[in-house]
Amino acid sequence: MRYLLNKTVVALVFVLLLGSCQEDFDLRYQLEDNYIEFEDAVTTTFIVGKDYPIISRVIKPGEDEITLQVNMSGLQSNEDQHLTWKIVAEESTAAENVDFAVIGGTKSFVLPALQSKGYIRLAPTSSGAGNTLLVLELVGTDKIKVSNNYKRVGVRCEYP
């Protein structure tokens, strides 16, 4: 019995000594930069040969608006962050105010203070014709960078 107790005490001492010698790795895993990305680009498979996916939601006449979620990773800000996006002209066949309309009128969105999600809203128009593709790309700032792998997303516009 005494032998077992001695063995247990020795094992506990070794565990305490070995456990106290570890380096603090918290800073190694802490994100220092903020990045934004499209939620749909993260959760949808990319098109073969392209650096973006085409989402399953479609802009159609008479249907509701399309909302695209933008996520930020990193530290949340105490202030609203005003960010922008652009249309990728070389990939897009859709025309603004013909095939789709930007709700709010500007190619910008807000990441509210102490939050990590913002939203881009697009609506159908009454003047669209045929099937077109809209490709959006996020634009970073000096405080918030863009995740290169998930900065673009494609949205189909279908009109009769």
* Percentage, residues of the chain above pLDDT 90: 69
Q: Is pLDDT above 80 for 142?
A: yes
User: Residue holding tokens 């790795």?
Assistant: 25
Structure tokens at 144: 């918030």
Q: In CATH, what number does 31-158 get?
A: 2.60.40.2030
Please, what is the average pLDDT of the chain? 88
Per-residue pLDDT tens digits for 14-61 = 776 666 555 555 666 666 789 999 999 999 999 999 999 999 999 999
Structure tokens at 115: 């939050």
The pTM score is 0.79
Domain residues of the chain, as ranges? 31-158
pLDDT of residue 8: 80
Q: Is pLDDT above 60 for 143?
A: yes
Q: Is pLDDT above 70 for 1?
A: no
Per-residue pLDDT tens digits for 109-128 = 999 999 999 999 999 998 88
Question: Whose CA is closest to 73, among 25, 120, 115?
Answer: 115
When pLDDT is averaged across residues 136-150 and rounded to a whole number, the result is: 94
156 forms bridges with which residues in the sheet? 58, 133
Question: Whose CA is closest to 61, among 135, 136, 157?
Answer: 157
